[in-house]
Chains A and B, each alone.
Chain A
Amino acid sequence: MKHAAYALTPNRGERMLRHAVVLYIWALVALPLVALLRFGLREGLVALAEALRSPVALSAIWLTLWTSTLVALINMLLGTATAWALVRYRLPGKTLLAALIDLPLAIPTLVTGLMIAVLYGPLSAAGRMFEAHGIQIVFAQPGIVLALLFVTLPFVIRAVEPVLMEIDKSEEEAAKILGASAIRVFRTVFLPSIAPAVLSSGIRSLGRALGEFGAIVIVAGNIPFRTLTAPVYVFGEIESGTPRTAAAVSLLLLTIALGLHAAAHAIERRIGARDA
């Protein structure tokens, strides 16, 4: 008779699978990361900083930073409001609305860019209407913000929604009976519960917006100093055969993105720890 422990020890196939999985993840994710780091840093930090000092690069980075931050802030505000409305009110066509909210994740970002360009472009009625009022959307900064809002729409909504649903209705009722105004009820009962989720999902949408390429490349027009974002700049530098500056800007974006990821992760872990 075989020993009982025999059944519990992995056989050869299982051991191989185990090693293969570990190897696959490292090779897929860690290796390219190291490669970029080595490439970017091969001439030293000074050369890297030098590459970042080009005015075009600086303005592209600045544009990406402020549009992404603006988008994250709008998401935190409107995303929370949307989640609130979805959870608490009866809305016309709620199922369809919920599907629409998730749609941006399913649509290829390039198609997103094209949709916005077609709707607000100079050839469309809407585009001409805005133009008549002196507002240019496509090939301008509003187009970038619009494209980023589109691709990051579900982040905050879908993070805040379950938290709101989980809040005990009687806590709200208790506050109301004790004489609290609607604002005070929100501040006491809802805000402390949803704040971590709002913050972490806001940070995640910021991280997503920083790296967005597909939706922007069509809408923005990519005019240096005006509508050229950092990811599109990186692409342009590669195309024109200057991978050094491309790597420098990429490393900067990477650092920011990893920092944001770590921050969001830390907040999410704290939520998890509190709920446990």
Chain B
Amino acid sequence: MHIKVEHLCKRFGDFAAVDDVSFEVSDGSLVALLGPSGSGKSTILRILAGLESADSGQVWFDGEPATDLHARVRGVGFVFQHYALFRHLTVAQNIGFGLDVRRVEKSAVRKRVKELLALTGLSGLEQRYPSQLSGGQRQRVALARALAPEPKVLLLDEPFGAVDAKVREELRQWLRRLHDEVGVTSIFVTHDQEEAFSVSDRVLLVNHGRIEQNGTPMEILDDPATEFVARFVGEVNVFPATVRDDRAQSGALNVRIKGSAPSGLAHLVIRSYDLKLWREDPGVATVQRMVTFGDRVRVQALVDGAGPIIAHFPRRSSLLRGVEPGCRVQVEVTTARAYPAEASSLHPIAAT
């Protein structure tokens, strides 16, 4: 189903949870709403489901207005972070619930439940109760239950937030395969960028109730539209800088910037893996710390007149030869961007 959202707004008291949000989701795609907690991404999802009403704005399902439809008749499937399974019903009764309330014939319900048990790898567990299942199994029951009535769109609210890291990775890959198999238009909310980039076709980056960027994972990684996006995605270094033409100056650093930025005061944003450094005297920076994580080394150095900088290297990189805490290094930045220095962007990014 094609979904269109126009100028959605929702306030909770003085707090603007959703602030003039517009986007479209094309039929059959898998889209992630990515953002820090409290950014409004869940509220957007709940408005789409009819669990929350928008103060203003419109929602369209396949060109039909859906803004005022009751949750019961929207034909959406919803998966909650904490599963929200009916604890007094068995796995089979949970999955069949959506068909049962529509008075679908018993034999047809049984057949569909069986299909979904097979699809979700839960065959043999149909008589269990939710309390007798693991977290990963519960979430798959929740998915099967949402899919049983063949919804036109599947909405997932932090679907893997409550399971441990290993199961989460399995479930992600499984969700992607499931989506490719079933093909139902799906939107899921996450605060985990890895999850958003590894699973979805498109990512909508949400912050303070607004959409910062709407693009494919590659577009967002390679061309962050705003400073927020650049800082949110991956580990970055941010320096106050002065921009003139296509170069930015910050202390001893003078780098070419990608894209364009208006001349004047700016924030220079450099990803930790978009720079090189090697031992050189006098150089521009002093190495402070080196930490090894398996196959990678994280180098922290102090750039003259600019401040601390963090760089990641493969552990056996030839660039690291002779580099040790206390030595002087030269820094070369391969890719950097500059964003106008606005007062609001000086705030640290909300924890994710």
- A contact residues vs B (CB 8 Å cutoff): 168, 170-171, 173-181, 184, 188-189, 192-193
Which chain B residue shows the least CB distance to A176? B71
Residues on B with C-beta less than 8 A from A192 are 87-88
Residues on A with C-beta less than 8 A from B101 are 178-181, 184
State in angstroms the CA–CA spacing of A171 and B50 once bound together. Answer: 15
User: Chain B nearest CB: distance from A20 CB in Å?
Assistant: 44
Which chain B residue shows the least CB distance to A188? B86
Residues on B with C-beta less than 8 A from A179 are 72-73, 98, 101-102, 149
Chain B, 305-337, CB within 8 A of any chain A CB? none
Identify 10 residue pairs between A and B in the complex whose beta-carbon atoms are under 8 Å apart, listed by A's number. A168-B82, A170-B80, A171-B84, A173-B71, A174-B80, A177-B78, A178-B98, A179-B72, A179-B102, A193-B88
Report yes or no: B86 in contact with A175, Cβ–Cβ below 8 A: yes
A170-B72 CB under 8 A given contacts A179-B98, A192-B88: no
Residues on B with C-beta less than 8 A from A171 are 84-87
User: Chain B nearest CB: distance from A258 CB in Å?
Assistant: 31
Residues on B with C-beta less than 8 A from A170 are 80-82, 84
Q: Is B89 an interface residue (CB 8 A)?
A: yes
State in angstroms the CA–CA spacing of A173 and B89 once bound together. Answer: 16
Q: Is B74 an interface residue (CB 8 A)?
A: yes
State in angstroms the CA–CA spacing of A189 and B142 once bound together. Answer: 15
State in angstroms the CA–CA spacing of A97 and B144 once bound together. Answer: 44
Q: Is B197 an interface residue (CB 8 A)?
A: no
Residues on B with C-beta less than 8 A from A184 are 101
Report yes or no: B149 in contact with A178, Cβ–Cβ below 8 A: yes
Report yes or no: B82 in contact with A189, Cβ–Cβ below 8 A: no
Contact of A173 among B51, B87, B88 (CB under 8 A): B51
- B contact residues vs A (CB 8 Å cutoff): 49-51, 71-74, 76-78, 80-82, 84-89, 97-98, 101-102, 142, 145-146, 149
Residues on B with C-beta less than 8 A from A193 are 87-88
Report yes or no: B49 in contact with A178, Cβ–Cβ below 8 A: no
Beyond contacts A181-B101, A188-B88: 9 other A-B pairs, Cβ-Cβ < 8 A, are: A173-B78, A173-B80, A173-B84, A174-B78, A176-B71, A177-B49, A177-B51, A178-B145, A193-B88
Total cross-chain contacts (CB, 8 A): 64
Residues on B with C-beta less than 8 A from A174 are 78, 80, 84-86, 142, 145
State in angstroms the CA–CA spacing of A176 and B74 once bound together. Answer: 10
Residues on A with C-beta less than 8 A from B89 are 188
State in angstroms the CA–CA spacing of A188 and B94 once bound together. Answer: 10
State in angstroms the CA–CA spacing of A226 and B2 once bound together. Answer: 73
User: Chain A nearest CB: distance from B19 CB in Å?
Assistant: 24
State in angstroms the CA–CA spacing of A44 and B69 once bound together. Answer: 73
Report yes or no: B76 in contact with A177, Cβ–Cβ below 8 A: yes
Which chain B residue shows the least CB distance to A192? B88
Which chain B residue shows the least CB distance to A174? B84
Report yes or no: A177 in contact with B97, Cβ–Cβ below 8 A: no
Report yes or no: B74 in contact with A177, Cβ–Cβ below 8 A: yes
Which chain B residue shows the least CB distance to A172? B84
Report yes or no: A189 in contact with B76, Cβ–Cβ below 8 A: no
Report yes or no: A177 in contact with B88, Cβ–Cβ below 8 A: no
State in angstroms the CA–CA spacing of A168 and B51 once bound together. Answer: 15
Residues on B with C-beta less than 8 A from A175 are 86, 97
Which chain A residue shows the least CB distance to B89? A188
User: Chain A nearest CB: distance from B305 CB in Å?
Assistant: 52
User: Chain A nearest CB: distance from B32 CB in Å?
Assistant: 20
State in angstroms the CA–CA spacing of A171 and B142 once bound together. Answer: 11
Residues on A with C-beta less than 8 A from B149 are 178-179
Residues on A with C-beta less than 8 A from B87 are 171, 192-193
Report yes or no: A180 in contact with B72, Cβ–Cβ below 8 A: yes
State in angstroms the CA–CA spacing of A171 and B145 once bound together. Answer: 12
Report yes or no: B84 in contact with A168, Cβ–Cβ below 8 A: yes
State in angstroms the CA–CA spacing of A193 and B146 once bound together. Answer: 22
Report yes or no: A176 in contact with B84, Cβ–Cβ below 8 A: no
State in angstroms the CA–CA spacing of A188 and B98 once bound together. Answer: 12
User: Chain A nearest CB: distance from B109 CB in Å?
Assistant: 13
Residue among A174, A177, A192 with max Cβ neighbours from chain B (10 Å): A177
Residues on A with C-beta less than 8 A from B51 are 173, 176-177
Ranked 6 nearest A-B pairs via Cβ: A178-B98, A192-B88, A170-B84, A174-B84, A170-B80, A180-B101
State in angstroms the CA–CA spacing of A173 and B42 once bound together. Answer: 14
User: Chain A nearest CB: distance from B132 CB in Å?
Assistant: 12
User: Chain B nearest CB: distance from A190 CB in Å?
Assistant: 10
Residues on A with C-beta less than 8 A from B81 are 170
Residues on B with C-beta less than 8 A from A173 are 49, 51, 71, 78, 80, 84
State in angstroms the CA–CA spacing of A193 and B87 once bound together. Answer: 9
User: Chain A nearest CB: distance from B12 CB in Å?
Assistant: 15
Report yes or no: B71 in contact with A177, Cβ–Cβ below 8 A: yes
Which chain A residue shows the least CB distance to B73? A179
State in angstroms the CA–CA spacing of A178 and B149 once bound together. Answer: 8
Residue among A174, A180, A188 with max Cβ neighbours from chain B (10 Å): A174
Residues on B with C-beta less than 8 A from A177 are 49-51, 71-72, 74, 76-78
Residue among B84, B87, B88 with max Cβ neighbours from chain A (10 Å): B84
